[in-house]
Structure 1
């Protein structure tokens, strides 16, 4: 089965009637879900999901160059803003991917 046969629609999220969900409806619904989930210290929005998805992509071993294409950015400066890592994230990534990890002395 080819990629074009996998999905009949180009849109990922559709309304009950099969039309595109309006951006404001999607934003409002996410905010409501955040409140219901008790999330108080973070903004729950499509943009936050985009940032979180980009960071998880990198933390799961994805490379920043393919992420740049996925996000649709022409240069890496914006991608850098999307993948700001905490010190704990950097340490964990270093422990996984360090070239010294597999050297046997």
Structure 2
């Protein structure tokens, strides 16, 4: 079973097929089939953030990594597998990615509280 939703999987398959002729192992390529540079990615993300009128958060690769890690945890992922996914050798390095806001903690508690099972 694929970890992607059907529509996402279809789009990724089409994208990969379109870029197959370049024979490049990277997913995100320039129009010439070369790997996109890190500054291009950073600049594009900043531009997309401006177009989306995101003003209260920095839009950067690091912000996306942090947000993805947080959503992974909030959706039930565990810190041990997140450590592997992020490529960290020590668990302490994962901690900044999984810091939760007070509201996140309240939401998690309301879902997983022992009282949900005791008083049902």
Candidates 10, 22, 40, aligned match of 1:25: 40
Count, aligned residues: 101
Q: Which of structures 1 and 2 has the larger relative contact order (alpha carbons within 8 angstroms, sep 6+)?
A: 1
Candidates 51, 65, 68, aligned match of 2:83: 68
Q: Name the Cα RMSD after superposition.
A: 2.1
What pairs with 1:1-105 in structure 2 (closer than 5 Å)? 10-104=25-119
TM-score by length of 1: 0.84
Stretches of structure 2 that go unaligned for 5 or more consecutive residues are 1-12
Q: Quickly say closer, same or farther: Cα 1:19–1:99, change in 2 above 3 A.
A: farther
After TM superposition, where is structure 1 displaced by more than 3 Å over at least 4 residues in a row?
A: 6-10
Task: Give 1:10 shift.
Answer: 4.1
Task: Give 1:42 shift.
Answer: 0.9
Stretches of structure 1 that go unaligned for 5 or more consecutive residues are 1-5
- Counterpart CA distance in 2 for 1:80 and 1:97 is 21
TM-score by length of 2: 0.74
Task: Give 1:50 shift.
Answer: 0.2
Larger deviation, residues 23-32 vs 7-16: 7-16
Q: What whole-Å deviation, never above 9, does each CA across 1:50-99 have from its counterpart, x for those lacking one?
A: 00000000001111100000001111112111111101101111122233
